[in-house]
Structure 1
Amino acid sequence: MGSMENLVTQIQGLSGSVEDIAHLHNILKLADEALHSESSMLSAVLDQVDPARHSLGYLYILEAFTSGPVSKEQALTLVPILARFINFCDAQQIRLAPDKFVSVCKRFKDHVLLIESPLRGVSPMRTAVRKLQTTFEHLTTLHPEFLLLCLLSKSYKIGLSVLEDDIFDIDQPRDLFLYCYYGGMICIGQKRFRKALELLHNVVTAPMNIINAIAVEAYKKYILVSLIHYGQFSTSLPKYASSAAQRNLKNFCQPYIELATTYSSGKIAELETYVQTNREKFDNDKNLGLVKQVVSSMYKHNIQRLTQTYLTLSLQDIASTVQLGSPKEAEMHVLQMIQDGEIFATINQKDGMVRFLEDPEQYKTCEMIEHIDSSIRRIMTLSRKLNAMDELMSYDPLYLTKVGRERQRFDFDDFDTVPQKFPI
């Protein structure tokens, strides 16, 4: 125990300057094995160091202390200890041992799930993400853990706080897959379908040598959300999607491809029959709720199509055309769509007539100009970032070697449509 007392003294004395902390880090690396061998005795040691001032030393001790399996009762004790450390630790110190910090945070996530209280993990895990990040463009391995806790606790709005960041720096490919998949699910929970499609699209088209389970599940939801939001789905993936995705994704998602085909007929009865026949498959995938939204969306998209043909239409005609049960049902759908800004119309209650209108937005208000200006500035920032990344990549030896190997795969005909850079 004397060696442990000596280590505590060194942690307390070497947590001030950058030079001292660097020296302490070397000491802690050497002591790591001993800490793990005496992990059951470290509870008293933790009480002697401060998570805010002695963050690096506290992290090493805490990681060793929590390294073994725990019961539900032990987890109840550990959760507040881990949360306190995450909330008060110094970001600069814990970034010296990021793997240790990630291990501690992942155990924290496991413990809040063990005690069936994911909500208790949401705020500390968001703090952990921000402390581990070097910039807001950095995707850490804790991002997916945070989004998972948000999903399980239905804290969708809190999850959106990290999904607004433009990510350019990624530690591990799996982190990106999970971040976009969980992020897509959070956006679905908030009915932000356009953003959900963007995130799920990133999973489906991300580079992959073989198909992974995350991409398959993302593709299923991508199909469903496309039908809900756009009323259609194209099975053709963009050219920049991996060849593995191009070849194999559809084979794993046949019921969803067939659902999209049935949806395209515009016949609600056929769609409902297909859903009922394949209900168990969708339920097993935990997508039945989304599938039901797909069925409901057919009414909406059929009504939207009517606005392209008619200026006025009775509620009875709308009900008959889109296969709703009564004019009252048609009225409820139209009112909801007006409220959501999906159509522009007025209803004459006296004669039951719906008058379809043009979009009233003139794009000349101060708010709209500010919105457009903000979008332009964001696009310019992204453009500069992409140009910088492109230039950096053009000098990367690994990239140049790969391009050199693959150049022989292309024929001259592939470049016929590329304009000449300079006139000849």
Structure 2
Amino acid sequence: MSAPEPTQPVASSSSTSSAAPPPPPRQQQAHGPLPPPPSRSTNLTERSLPTTSEEIRQLILQTNSLQYVHEFLVPALQDVADGKAGPQYVKGVKLKDKVKMEHGGSLLTCGESEEVYDLPDESIVRMTAGLSYIVSARLEVFNSSASLYNDQLLEFAIKLCSLGDAQQFNLIPKRVAQLSWGILRLSRHLKKVPLAVPAIAALVQKSFASGHFSPIYAAYLEACLIARQFQAGLLVLDQVFLHVRSAGATYLDVLTYYHHAGLISAALKDYNKAKQYFVIAVSLPTTTTSAIQLASAKRAILCELLGTGKRISFPRYTASTVTRAIEKHAGAYNDLAREYEASRWDEVRGIAGKAEFANDCNKGLIDQVLKSITKRRILQLKEIYSRLTINDLVIKIGQSSKETVETITTILGEMITSGQINATVTPGSTPANSIVTFIDESNTTNNPTSSGTNINDSDSKLAKVNYLASQLEFELVEMSRNLGISKEYLKKQANLLETGSGKGKSGGLGDGGGRTDDFDTLMAAEELAGVGSGMGMGVRGVGGNYGDMGF
């Protein structure tokens, strides 16, 4: 694909040599080398869609303004991707949507030519949206051909992420998400996932919109996990998403994001935050249990033990199907948590040796749970004693722990440094005679000189919470306004008043089985009315066989 000279106008296929005089100089300057793009009122479906690779290339090469991209290029390419440019019937039989979309994807690859990989940087910036369609299609279609699914494709995809125009990326959020997952799959195939991390990070930063969830986040976290670049994953954590539909995210995208966010936090040893992410995944509304939810539940149980030493209590609004799946398939985890909370350490070590934990890829968390037994014993002794020697600590922790003076000293140092315990160690004549003094945390809190850092941290957290509260208040007001003008919601409210007016009989939505409460009515109306972005698809479960997404 070669870019045309930017100073030469491109004639439309319907123009003639004497149809109209050239526009005045100012008009040429305003619209560049092309005729002005169609207005928003123009029906794009009336224009013939590109049906060959050459027509698609010419369509993309003509890119000269953001308006052209928004009003003409993206709608046309999306129609091609949806299969509208190909045959709709074969021998009188209507083709299935999947077959039509596969034909559209093949058309968008623009053949097997490598010419596109040689485009100069300025052309990549100018044609970002069109190239995103081509590259994402190739990442999907070429994966069955070893000669085409190669390093050259990966390098150009990464270059597109790095140089691409942010405004054009923002116009195609669904296609950018497809591009990010395609890059991740190709990098895994080539065993070059570390190269995908900065590329997808560039997509995150260029297409980032505060409060909007995008499937890119899940792809990015998965790349960070595979490449073991856990710190890099913090880029997309600690966010509150108020808009989930705008980028075309699926149920699995949301589940995968929160599951991976939990893994990133656990890898960084922030077990309380990891548990919060896992719990969000577990408690997402569903009708059938996802394998990701079951995996999240098991890891939430372990992270709760590491964070608080207690059994976890999942939210009351967790779907009953998920709760039953946890009871049925996470028996060893529940047994471990029960014995851990009761401080029956020998039983804990026995349960931890079961193969189920290794089969679930939770051996690392189990090792941390076993290591935490000594820390938990020290915290228990802190509540009883104010001062002990290191040797006394070793004796009271017990011989079964196989701890020595050296290991206890190391563990104490880690706990003091991380803030898990407030204590001082006074050196003795020997390491075993060193004295550990546990400091009453209530006295520390009342001492401004020793808690200045804590006060500053609290102020910072309070400011963040206040800002979040103001944002949520604004969103609630906006949602209330939207519901107030929603025809679907008002119809359902009127229906409730007419059919379920105080007689205790089944009424409201549906044919029977109890009256639907206001919350369910509101949510159903919001889904049908499509308040916000998207078409209003509700969140539903995936795969009753617990086999989705390879978990």
Q: Which TM bucket (shorter chain)?
A: 0.7 to 0.9
Query: For the Cα contact (< 8 Å) 2:294–2:325, is it kept in 1?
Result: no
Matched residue, 1:358:
440
Query: Judging changes above 3 Å, is the alpha-carbon distance between structure 1 residues 242 and 14 closer, same or farther for their aligned structure 2 residues?
Result: same
Pick from 110, 115, 122: which aligns with 1:44? 115
TM-score of the superposition, structure 1-length normalised?
0.85
The answer to whether residue 128 in structure 2 is matched with residue 55 in structure 1 is yes
Could you say what secondary structure the match of 2:111 adopts?
helix
Matched residue, 1:413:
none
RCO greater where, 1 or 2, for CA within 8 Å and sep 6 or more? 2
CA deviation vs aligned residue, 1:182-203 (integer Å, no higher than 9, x gap): 0110111111112111111211
Could you say what secondary structure the match of 1:313 adopts?
strand
The answer to whether residue 86 in structure 2 is matched with residue 13 in structure 1 is no
- For 2:151 and 2:77, the matched residues in 1 are separated by 28
Pick from 371, 379, 389: which aligns with 1:304? 379
Query: For the Cα contact (< 8 Å) 1:15–1:21, is it kept in 2?
Result: no
Letter of the 2:515 partner, please give it: Q
Query: For the Cα contact (< 8 Å) 1:150–1:159, is it kept in 2?
Result: yes
Q: Tell me how far 1:289 sits from its aligned partner.
A: 1.5
Query: Judging changes above 3 Å, is the alpha-carbon distance between structure 1 residues 387 and 407 closer, same or farther for their aligned structure 2 residues?
Result: farther
Query: Judging changes above 3 Å, is the alpha-carbon distance between structure 1 residues 226 and 172 closer, same or farther for their aligned structure 2 residues?
Result: same
TM-score of the superposition, structure 2-length normalised?
0.67
Matched residue, 1:177:
255
Could you say what secondary structure the match of 1:347 adopts?
strand
Could you say what secondary structure the match of 2:388 adopts?
strand
- For 2:459 and 2:415, the matched residues in 1 are separated by 28
Matched residue, 1:78:
153
CA deviation vs aligned residue, 1:169-220 (integer Å, no higher than 9, x gap): 2233322211111011011111111211111121122212221111100111
- For 1:307 and 1:174, the matched residues in 2 are separated by 44
Query: For the Cα contact (< 8 Å) 1:46–1:62, is it kept in 2?
Result: no
Matched residue, 1:289:
364
The answer to whether residue 214 in structure 2 is matched with residue 214 in structure 1 is no
Query: For the Cα contact (< 8 Å) 1:345–1:354, is it kept in 2?
Result: yes
Instruction: Give structure 2 stretches of 5+ with no counterpart.
Output: 2-12, 14-51, 87-103, 497-507, 518-551
Matched residue, 2:171:
96
Q: Tell me how far 1:123 sits from its aligned partner.
A: 0.5
Instruction: Give structure 1 stretches of 5+ with no counterpart.
Output: 411-424
Query: Judging changes above 3 Å, is the alpha-carbon distance between structure 1 residues 61 and 46 closer, same or farther for their aligned structure 2 residues?
Result: farther
Matched residue, 1:119:
194
Letter of the 2:115 partner, please give it: A
Pick from 408, 419, 439: which aligns with 1:341? 419
Matched residue, 2:239:
165
- For 2:383 and 2:69, the matched residues in 1 are separated by 72
Matched residue, 2:331:
254
Letter of the 2:111 partner, please give it: S
Matched residue, 2:227:
153
Query: For the Cα contact (< 8 Å) 1:181–1:199, is it kept in 2?
Result: yes
Query: Judging changes above 3 Å, is the alpha-carbon distance between structure 1 residues 142 and 29 closer, same or farther for their aligned structure 2 residues?
Result: closer
Letter of the 2:281 partner, please give it: V
Query: For the Cα contact (< 8 Å) 1:42–1:61, is it kept in 2?
Result: no
Could you say what secondary structure the match of 2:393 adopts?
helix
The answer to whether residue 459 in structure 2 is matched with residue 373 in structure 1 is yes
Q: Tell me how far 1:331 sits from its aligned partner.
A: 3.0
Q: Tell me how far 1:157 sits from its aligned partner.
A: 0.5
Q: Tell me how far 1:328 sits from its aligned partner.
A: 4.1
- For 1:185 and 1:356, the matched residues in 2 are separated by 33
Matched residue, 1:416:
none
Could you say what secondary structure the match of 1:250 adopts?
helix
Query: For the Cα contact (< 8 Å) 1:184–1:200, is it kept in 2?
Result: yes
The answer to whether residue 71 in structure 2 is matched with residue 22 in structure 1 is yes
> What are the within-5 Å matches in structure 2 for residues 206-285 of structure 1?
206-234=284-312, 236-276=313-353, 278=354, 280-285=355-360
> What are the within-5 Å matches in structure 2 for residues 327-338 of structure 1?
327-338=405-416
The answer to whether residue 457 in structure 2 is matched with residue 408 in structure 1 is no
- For 1:356 and 1:367, the matched residues in 2 are separated by 20
- For 2:307 and 2:286, the matched residues in 1 are separated by 27
Letter of the 1:288 partner, please give it: K
Query: For the Cα contact (< 8 Å) 2:187–2:195, is it kept in 1?
Result: yes
Query: For the Cα contact (< 8 Å) 2:294–2:322, is it kept in 1?
Result: no
Q: Tell me how far 1:378 sits from its aligned partner.
A: 1.9
Query: For the Cα contact (< 8 Å) 1:75–1:112, is it kept in 2?
Result: no
> What are the within-5 Å matches in structure 2 for residues 180-219 of structure 1?
180-219=258-297
Query: Judging changes above 3 Å, is the alpha-carbon distance between structure 1 residues 58 and 248 closer, same or farther for their aligned structure 2 residues?
Result: closer
- For 2:75 and 2:439, the matched residues in 1 are separated by 71
Query: Judging changes above 3 Å, is the alpha-carbon distance between structure 1 residues 308 and 260 closer, same or farther for their aligned structure 2 residues?
Result: same
Q: Tell me how far 1:27 sits from its aligned partner.
A: 4.8
Query: Judging changes above 3 Å, is the alpha-carbon distance between structure 1 residues 314 and 368 closer, same or farther for their aligned structure 2 residues?
Result: closer
CA deviation vs aligned residue, 1:56-98 (integer Å, no higher than 9, x gap): 2222333444423232874222110110111111122233333
- For 1:386 and 1:182, the matched residues in 2 are separated by 25
Q: Tell me how far 1:226 sits from its aligned partner.
A: 0.8
Query: For the Cα contact (< 8 Å) 1:188–1:196, is it kept in 2?
Result: yes
How well do the aligned residues superpose, as a CA RMSD in angstroms? 3.0
Query: Judging changes above 3 Å, is the alpha-carbon distance between structure 1 residues 181 and 6 closer, same or farther for their aligned structure 2 residues?
Result: closer
Query: For the Cα contact (< 8 Å) 1:139–1:175, is it kept in 2?
Result: no
Query: Judging changes above 3 Å, is the alpha-carbon distance between structure 1 residues 62 and 328 closer, same or farther for their aligned structure 2 residues?
Result: closer
Pick from 200, 210, 218: which aligns with 1:136? 210
Q: Tell me how far 1:409 sits from its aligned partner.
A: 6.2
Deviates more, 1:171-180 or 1:280-289: 171-180
Q: Which structure would you say has the larger Rg?
A: 2
- The structure whose residues are more often helix, as a share, is 1
